[in-house]
Amino acid sequence: MRKKLNYKRMEGLQGYVFILPWIVGFIAFTAGPLIFSFAASFTNYNITSQMDFVGFENYENLFTADNLFWTSLYNTLYYVLFSIPLTTAGAIFLSALLNQDVPGIRFFRTIYYLPAVLSGVGVYLLWMQLLDPGTGLVNTALGWFGIPGPNWLFDPDWTKPALIFMKMWSVGGGMLLYLASMQGVSKSLYEAAKIDGASSWQQFRFITIPMITPVIFFDIVTSLIGGFQIFQEAYVMSNGEGGPVNSMLFYNLYMWKKAFESFDMGYAMAMSWILFIIVFIITIINLKLAPRWVHYEGEER
């Protein structure tokens, strides 16, 4: 008996040793900085010269004295609130279309996925041209239908819609996930439904959608986390300013400015922890709500 226990412990230890590189990496590059940033959020840390404990001053200033904090939070929530339902719906719609068995479907699948491969600054610069109010393709196209296009990135009321619109362009990543999960739905379900006389829409509504809810859930949770971290788009398209009228001053952009332009690192770290808590709470709510609508095959209730 004792020997067996030793063997088990032995095995456990070996396991730990094997994952040791990861543990070391985690402590050095993730947990360490996390703890440090939490501690530093209670200081006036500015990287080079000072790190005095200031208690909750950073947090207090954020909530009581900093209008830009609220502006950036509002902008970010606005973006998340609109972009996530739209991109999720868009991706499901596209994947439903691409889940058909028609000739040349592979070509379309590739085409629609392509934008997800292209990303980064180049794409944003491209979109700045497309969204140009005078010469851009978007307004030119709207003009064909007699619609006067807005000033997009120059009009504070339209900058966020413009970014959300742009986000729709890259639904290919989500689409691929949905496509894979749709193809995994058992054909027998559809056959049974057809025998019962279900229309295509009914099949989609009552078979496809419930069967892919785990993927929808996964997609929503990850896009929410990603959406709260929007930075690059706004940084490039507003020239690092967040304007006009702070309409593109997203949370992370403001945090970045605080950290690297005014060197208020402690303040920025307090901001990052507030964002963490917000995203954490939203994710928990998501997880709690999930059992009500997410369907897992073979799950016991």
Partner 1 sequence: MFRKKLMPLFFVMLLILSGCAGFKTGDSKSADSGDKVVIDFWSFWGSEIRRPVIDKIVADFNESQDKIEVKHTFVPWGDIWTKELAAIAAKNPPDVVINDINATALRGQKNQAMNLSQFLEKDDISDRFYEELWNATLYEGDSYGIPFNTDTRILFYNKTAFKEAGLDPEKPPATWEELWEYAEKLDVKNGDTYDRIGFYPLWGVNSDVWMLNSDGKNFFDEDGAPIIDTEANRETLEWVLDWHEKYGANTINSYKSQIDSQQGNPFFNGKLAMYVNTPTFYTQIRDYAPDLDFGVAMLPEREPGSGNTSWGGGFVAEIPQGSKHPEEAWEFIKHLTDAEAQEYWAVKNFDNVANIEAAENAAKNSEMPDRDKVVYQMAIDNMENTLLTPVPVNAPDFMNLVNPELDSILLGKKSIEQGLKDAQQSLEKLIEKSK
Check residue 17 for interaction with partner 1 (CB under 8 A): yes
Note whether 245 binds partner 1 by CB under 8 A. yes
Is residue 88 at the binding interface for partner 1, with CB under 8 A as the rule?
no
Kindly tell me which residue out of 8, 19, 24, 226 binds partner 1, with binding defined by CB under 8 A.
24
CB 62 to partner 1: min, Å = 12
Bridge partner residues of 43 (DSSP): 53
In the region spanning residues 118 to 147, those forming contacts with partner 1, defined by CB under 8 A, are: 128-129, 132-136
Closest CB 142 distance from partner 1, rounded Å: 14
**Residues contacting 54, CB < 8 A, separation 6+:** 42, 43, 44, 266
Any contact of residue 261 with partner 1 (CB under 8 A)?
A: yes
In the complex with partner 1, the residue whose CB is nearer, 66 or 282, is 66
Task: Tell me which residues in 33-62 interact with partner 1 (CB under 8 A).
Answer: 46-49, 61
Residue 68 near residue 246, CB atoms below 8 Å: yes
Alpha-carbon dihedral 202, 222, 280, 81, rounded to 10 degrees: -60
How far is CA 269 from its chain centroid? Answer: 21
Q: Which two tokens stand for residue 67?
A: 């209008």
CB 273 to partner 1: min, Å: 20
Nearer to partner 1 among residue 241 and residue 297 (C-beta): 241
Q: How far is the CB of 244 from partner 1 (least distance, A)?
A: 4
In the chain, the amino acid numbered 283 is T
Distance of alpha carbon 33 from alpha carbon 43, whole angstroms: 15
| Distance from C-alpha of 77 to C-alpha of 268, rounded to nearest angstrom | 19
Tell me the H-state helices in 184-260. Answer: 187-195, 200-203, 209-228, 232-237, 251-260
The reply on whether position 64 binds partner 1 by CB under 8 A is: no
Residues that bind partner 1 (CB under 8 A): 6, 10, 13-14, 17, 20-21, 24, 28, 46-49, 61, 65, 67-68, 128-129, 132-136, 151, 154-156, 241-246, 249, 257-258, 260-263
